[in-house]
Structures are given as C-alpha cells and as structure tokens.
C-alpha cells in the first residue's frame, strides 16, 4: 500500500490532521493500536481554545461542537474562602473557550473520517517505523495476523506519550525535558448538574480541586491526591466529602452529588521532546509533549502542531515549498514551551506541594494576591488560557 502521509495514532491529533489533509486532496492513513470503542472510552480534556475550535470547523467537524459545546467567557478561582472571577472575554480582548469533551470531539472526528471514506486502521499491532531518514520511509504493522507494509512520503507520530514514534528517534539525537509533580488528579464524571455555570479552580490547604463539566447534565470534578492513591481507595462518598471540604461554603452548599460513572487518577507531569522531527518523521501532540492539565493546555497544545504540519504539507505538495516542514520543529516548540510555562505557572499557583517551605507558601499567596490586584496579570492569564496565536 502507498499513501502520501502515514499517521500513527488515532487520537484527536492524528484524526484531525488526517481529516484536514484529506479535504485538501492529500492521501493519508491512520494506524490506531486499539479499537475505536477503547479510544472513545477514555475521559480526558474538557476545554478547547478558540484556535482548536477554528481548526475543527475548517475540518468540517465543528457542527456538533458548536451546537452542544458551551462558550465560556470566564472561570472562577476559589482561594482563602473567596471566589474571584477571571473575565476571559474582557482580559483576552474578546476571546473565550468552548467546553466540549475530548471524547465527543474524537467521536466527531471518527465520524467525519467515515463520511469521507478516510483510511483508519484499528487494532494495528506492532506498528514499526522504517527508513524515516530516507526519501522512502515506510511503516509496517500487523492486522489479523497479516503483516502490512505502508509506503509513504512522510510519517506523522501522533501516538501519544507511550507511542512508538518518539522511540524511533535515536537517543543521541533526542533531548527530553521532564518535570514530575508529587501528586495526581483524581477525576470523577457524574450525571449531575454542574455546581457552577463556569469552571471553578480551587486552591485549598487540603489540596487543589476543580469543578468542571461536559454539559449541563454531566459534571467533571477533580481533587489533588497523593501519587500513591488508587481510584479504588476513593469511594464516591469519600470523594464528594473531600471535594466539599475544599470548596467555599456557598459553593459546597449547592453541590449535587451522584454515582461516579468514571473515576480515574492522572499523574501530573511536564514533558517536552526535541526535536519534533527526524528526517521524514514529524511528532505531534502528546507524542512530543505533555503538560499538567491545570491550564487545560494538553489537547490544545496539539492544535498548533497540527496547524503547522497541515500547512507545511500542503505547501510541499502544492508548491514544492519545504520551508514549513524544515522549520516545523522550531516553530512548534516555540508555542509548546509557552504552553509548558503557563501550565507550570497554574500548577504552582493552585496546588499544595508536600515538600513546600513556609517561604513557598508566602510566595504562592503573594502570586494569588498579585493576580487579582493587577489587570496586567489577569490579561496575561486570560491570553494564555484562551490560547496564544498559532
Ligand atoms: P492521544 O494519547 O490522545 O492519542 C494517541 C493515540 O495513539 C491513542 O489513541 C493511542 O491508542 C494510539 N497509540 C499509542 N501507541 C500506538 C502505537 N504503537 N501504534 C498505534 N497507535 C498507538 N488535556 C487537557 O487539556 N485537559 C485534561 O483534563 C486532560 N486530562 C488528561 C487525562 C489523562 C489520563 C491523559 C493521559 C491526558 C489528559 N489530557 C488532558 C491530555 C490529553 O487530552 C492529550 O493532550 C490529548 O489526548 C492529546 O491527543 P493526541 O496527541 O492525539 O494523543
Ligand atoms: C476538564 O473538564 O476535564 C478540565 C477542564 C479544565 C482543566 C483540566 C481539565 O484545566
């Protein structure tokens, strides 16, 4: 089999790029390790930058997002018993975010690929990249016991943090930067009315919490827990009681609880792999970078990778111009590191670090007081949260 672009990974990054390229006449295949049901069973991101939303519309996948997603013009930060509002619309110069779950977004992308007859292979086992430094790379995989070879012009590694693509770059070429945070997020999904129409981020002496949602009948809540905790350690009642302890009283009084329909713990890490390209292999999304979810930059960081790769591949095929491909890693990393900075800043601002010093507590309190005493600080927060330009 021969395609122009072979994409490893059928998550949002791989699917969005495949859809965008297909609409511009560029032939792709997506190789996904798991079944579609398995991919769609994962509960992940909830907030989309306006740039990501624009790309979804350009990919002809934005209709349900625009119909069912919620425009949010702000969020709250609860700290020291008060609830302060961050007016994103005012401080970002009129921008906002869309609250729309990654699960539904990925479903929309799969359905769009089906409508266009896009090639998406599920349960692709033992995907292996070959000759990525040559002009004729190829990818092999096993499906139903048969070994398949995909000849291609380019390989895009959109296979997430645990994928094979990053591993295909030689260790003496790859530089990896990592920061592991000493806690995780215990997340619960419940068919309950959200406690607030906007998100509430909580800084509390017992630990961070977040009140989010997927719709007006589906709530998503998180609490900071030690890395040693397991979901089974947290019965629903214990979770709700701990969440209540961390919320301001007027919010806790309105909390509607219910059975968890999903409960998981995500460890928090920051990670960047450089360069994001090697020969004719290009990394995108979690395959190249990870952020703690505090700043809702995870899925949104993938958006600019996809945007840059999409335009670079069009320029290659339609104008014979390779400047976008040659400059991809440098351009993508410039925006990635800004997302890393913002995610680190939000994480440092809102979490309770087990090894903190009294000095750290004072600094954290000062950062919070400065944020809500300075329109400049609020503008800095807002422009990053709604999404920096591509
Ligand atoms: P993904 O990991 O989503 O997709 C990669 C795909 O490649 C997967 O489907 C995988 O099965 C496949 N794959 C892996 N290895 C392969 C192989 N060898 N061959 C073929 N396919 C292979 N972001 C936020 O903004 N907010 C959040 O609250 C949030 N919560 C998260 C919770 C968890 C537990 C995790 C892991 C991430 C979370 N994220 C969050 C970040 C997340 O949303 C990612 O940024 C987003 O999934 C990135 O999408 P992709 O780059 O497509 O990677
Ligand atoms: C979510 O709804 O899952 C969510 C929202 C905002 C974040 C992280 C997660 O910063």
| 11 CA from centroid of ligand 1 (Å) | 6
Residue 232 shares a structural domain with residue 331: no
Q: Does residue 89 form part of some domain?
A: no
The arrangement of strands across the sheet holding 209-215 comes to 82-87, 74-79, 200-203, 209-215, 218-225, 175-190, 260-274, 289-290
390 residues of the chain, pLDDT tens digit each:
999 999 999 999 999 999 999 999 999 999 999 999 999 999 999 999 999 999 999 999 999 999 999 999 999 999 998 999 999 999 999 999 999 999 999 999 999 999 999 999 999 999 999 999 999 999 999 998 899 999 999 999 999 999 999 999 999 999 999 999 999 999 999 999 999 999 999 999 999 999 999 999 999 999 999 999 999 999 999 999 999 999 999 999 999 999 999 999 999 999 999 999 999 999 999 999 999 999 999 999 999 999 999 999 999 999 999 999 999 999 999 999 999 999 999 999 999 999 999 999 999 999 999 999 999 999 999 999 999 999
Residue 160 shares a structural domain with residue 249: no
**From the CB of 294, is ligand 2 less than 6 Å away?**
yes
Write the residue with the smallest CA distance to atom 10 of ligand 2: 296
pLDDT of residue 81: 86
CA distance 222 to 296: 13
Residue 221 shares a structural domain with residue 263: yes
Provide the 3-class DSSP secondary structure of residue 68. helix
| 101 CA from centroid of ligand 2 (Å) | 9
At 280, which CATH number?
Answer: 3.50.50.60
Q: Does residue 335 form part of some domain?
A: yes
**From the CB of 280, is ligand 1 less than 6 Å away?**
no
Residue 21 shares a structural domain with residue 43: yes
Which residues constitute the domain of residue 58?
Answer: 5-72+95-178+269-350
How many structural domains does the chain have?
A: 2
Query: What is the C-alpha radius of gyration for the chain, rounded to an integer number of angstroms?
Result: 21
Residue 108 shares a structural domain with residue 236: no
**From the CB of 285, is ligand 1 less than 6 Å away?**
yes
Residue 119 shares a structural domain with residue 212: no
**From the CB of 220, is ligand 2 less than 6 Å away?**
yes
Residue 123 shares a structural domain with residue 170: yes
Residue 108 shares a structural domain with residue 51: yes
End-to-end CA distance of the chain: 34
17: phi then psi, degrees, rounded to nearest 5:
-65, -45
Residue 312 shares a structural domain with residue 378: no
Q: Does residue 90 form part of some domain?
A: no
**From the CB of 47, is ligand 2 less than 6 Å away?**
yes
Residue 113 shares a structural domain with residue 172: yes
Write the residue with the smallest CA distance to atom 4 of ligand 2: 46
Index of the ligand 1 atom closest to the CA of residue 222? 28
At 364, which CATH number?
Answer: 3.30.9.10
Q: Does residue 35 form part of some domain?
A: yes
Residue 56 shares a structural domain with residue 191: no
Residue 240 shares a structural domain with residue 187: yes
Write the residue with the smallest CA distance to atom 26 of ligand 1: 45
**From the CB of 11, is ligand 1 less than 6 Å away?**
yes
pLDDT of residue 231: 98
Q: Does residue 81 form part of some domain?
A: no
């Amino acid at each position: 089999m021969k395609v122009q672009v072979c994409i490893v990974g059928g998550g949002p990054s791989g699917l969005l790029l495949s859809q965008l390229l297909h609409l511009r006449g560029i032939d792709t295949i997506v190789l996904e390790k798991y079944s579609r049901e398995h991919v769609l069973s994962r509960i992940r991101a909830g907030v989309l930058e306006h740039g990501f939303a624009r790309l979804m519309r350009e990919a002809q996948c934005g209709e349900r997002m625009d119909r069912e997603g919620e425009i949010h013009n702000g969020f709250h930060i609860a700290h020291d018993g008060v609830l302060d509002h961050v007016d994103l619309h005012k401080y970002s110069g009129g921008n906002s975010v869309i609250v729309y779950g990654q699960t539904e977004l990925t479903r929309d992308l799969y359905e769009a690929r089906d409508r266009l007859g896009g090639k998406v292979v599920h349960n692709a086992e033992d995907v292996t990249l070959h000759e990525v430094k040559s002009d004729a790379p190829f990818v092999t995989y096993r499906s139903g016991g048969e070994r398949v070879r995909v000849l291609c012009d380019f390989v895009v590694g959109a296979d997430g943090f645990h994928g094979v693509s990053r591993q295909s770059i030689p260790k003496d070429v790859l530089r990896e930067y990592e920061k592991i945070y000493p806690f995780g997020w215990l997340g619960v999904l419940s068919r309950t009315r959200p406690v607030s129409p906007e998100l509430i981020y909580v800084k509390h002496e017992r630990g961070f919490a977040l009140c989010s949602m997927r719709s007006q009948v589906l709530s998503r809540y998180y609490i900071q827990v030690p890395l040693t905790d397991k979901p089974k350690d947290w019965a629903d009642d214990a979770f709700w009681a701990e969440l209540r302890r961390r919320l301001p009283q007027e919010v806790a009084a309105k909390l509607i609880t219910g059975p968890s329909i999903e409960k998981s713990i995500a460890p928090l890490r920051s990670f960047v792999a450089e360069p994001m390209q090697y020969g004719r292999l290009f990394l995108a999304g979690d395959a190249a970078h990870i952020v703690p979810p505090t700043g809702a930059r995870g899925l949104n960081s993938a958006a600019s990778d996809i945007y840059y790769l999409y335009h670079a591949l069009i320029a290659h095929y339609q104008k014979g111009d390779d400047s976008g491909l040659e400059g991809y890693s440098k351009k993508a990393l410039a925006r990635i590191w800004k997302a890393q900075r913002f995610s680190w800043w939000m994480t440092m601002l809102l979490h309770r670090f087990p090894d903190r010093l009294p000095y750290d507590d004072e600094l954290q309190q000062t950062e919070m007081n400065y944020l809500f005493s300075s329109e400049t600080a609020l503008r800095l927060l807002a422009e990053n949260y709604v999404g920096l330009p591509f």
